[in-house]
Amino acid sequence: MLKKHQILSFLLITFVSISCAQKVVKTNDDMRQELAESMQKSHDWMWENRSLTKGGQRADWDWTNATWFAGSMELYKVSQNPELLKQLRSVGEGLDWTIGDQTPGDKHDLQWYRSEYAKFQESNDKNIIDIMEHAGKKTTSFADNHTIIQVYADLAKIDKKNQYLDQTNKAFLALVDENLDVDMTDHLAVCWSGEWSWCDSLFMGPPAFAKIYDVTGNKKYLDFMDRKWWKAYDLLYDKKEMLFYRDASYLSKKEANGAKVFWSRGNGWVMGGLVRVLEVMPKDYPTRPQYIQLFKEMSAKISSIQQDDGFWRASLLDPTSFPGGETSGTGFFCYALAWGINNGYLDKRVYLPVVKRSINALMRSVDKNGKVGWVQAIGKDPKQVQAGDTEVYGVGAFLLAGSEVYKVLGE
């Protein structure tokens, strides 16, 4: 007969054994499979439910949808799902490979813009800004409208059909030749001109120019991009904080806690743009080391202010004012950091825990149907966000992040 202490020991061992059996430790392969399914489901949900978002009310060339398509392209590169490629190709064909609204007869050439800008400089008449914005929404010079070109360039490379880029080359060569260079402190006065006067534009414009260079080999595009990038950097980068202001109007603004205003998604745009430029920039390009240095600085800063739940808050230096986790900024940060690990620029031992926390947070934001939640609405600075908030660019950020993390987990 068993003694009392023997019975207790047996029960304890049995309890521990059952507990350990119930605690399933996921392998990297398990996590990759779960991530791949979550990404495909989120793309499919967005494809079927675009009308539910503001992005669904915009043309496919708009930056909102184009960011989603850019993420879907990266998903295709890791999944090789032919249906994804078919869908993305249909987007380009549906747009006839155009940039923005190119309605014939509209006043949207750069010479016209410059004349209007000159009037503004002389009169400081805000009505002229309204005129320029109205015209600018139909131009091919506005950086937001260049986001879709990143997808065109990838499709041109995959399909070996450079004719996809015929209209892009025409518009971009006009910008390069014009080489517009105006003061950017009045963001609203110049944002439609082709200047990158707001940090978001560093995701929209530079990767498009870099990718077109990659396809065509025309170094003019890369040199133009490089000059414009560092002009934006000189205006908007805070070297002490190692973060970007959204635009010049935020240089002196403060959050409720007295900290400077640094918007999560805005800095996410920058980091996303950085890695997409570095991905195609030649190893021997003269200023490449500066891009890498900037990337490492921002990576260190961003990692240091990640919150315990894996998210970053809408306001990077004042997390308590907008306490909910925010998906779009988190997605871009996760994407950039994972890319840095995959390409040998960031120490895996230091940054992988940050990446894993963020991808787990992102996956918790995807509901059972594939809807990505906690996405801050279209804006220009930190705002409150709720669990049910979604947008197409938030899906894009998740797909970009997931595609790079998928590679990390495969090593």
Residues 6+ apart with CB under 8 A from 205: 143, 146, 196, 225, 228
Helix (H/G/I), strand (E/B), else coil: 410: coil
With vertex at residue 66, the alpha carbon angle to CA 81 and CA 176, rounded to the nearest 5 degrees, is 120
Classify burial at 277, counting beta carbons within 10 Å of its beta carbon; exposed 0-12, middle 13-18, buried 19 or more.
buried
With vertex at residue 313, the alpha carbon angle to CA 307 and CA 302, rounded to the nearest 5 degrees, is 65
Residue with tokens 């609405």: 377
Is residue 256 a contact partner of residue 382, using CB atoms and an 8 Å limit?
no
Residues 6+ apart with CB under 8 A from 225: 205, 206, 209, 210, 213, 277
Residue with tokens 């002229």: 128
**Does residue 60 carry a catalytic annotation?**
no
Question: What amino acid occupies position 181?
Answer: D
Residues paired with residue 67 on neighbouring β-strands, in sequence order:
none
Is residue 153 a contact partner of residue 211, using CB atoms and an 8 Å limit?
yes
184: nearest Cα among 140, 228, 132, 122: 228
Distance CA 264, CA 244 (A): 10
141: nearest Cα among 129, 133, 151: 133
Helix (H/G/I), strand (E/B), else coil: 219: helix
35: nearest Cα among 383, 359, 361, 400: 359
Is residue 245 a contact partner of residue 238, using CB atoms and an 8 Å limit?
yes
62: nearest Cα among 148, 120, 133, 123: 148
Is residue 359 a contact partner of residue 3, using CB atoms and an 8 Å limit?
no
Distance CA 129, CA 117 (A): 8
Distance CA 187, CA 193 (A): 10
Residues in the chain: 411
Out of 60, 200, 214, 226, pick the active-site residue.
200
DSSP annotation of 109: -
Q: Which residues are catalytic?
A: 200
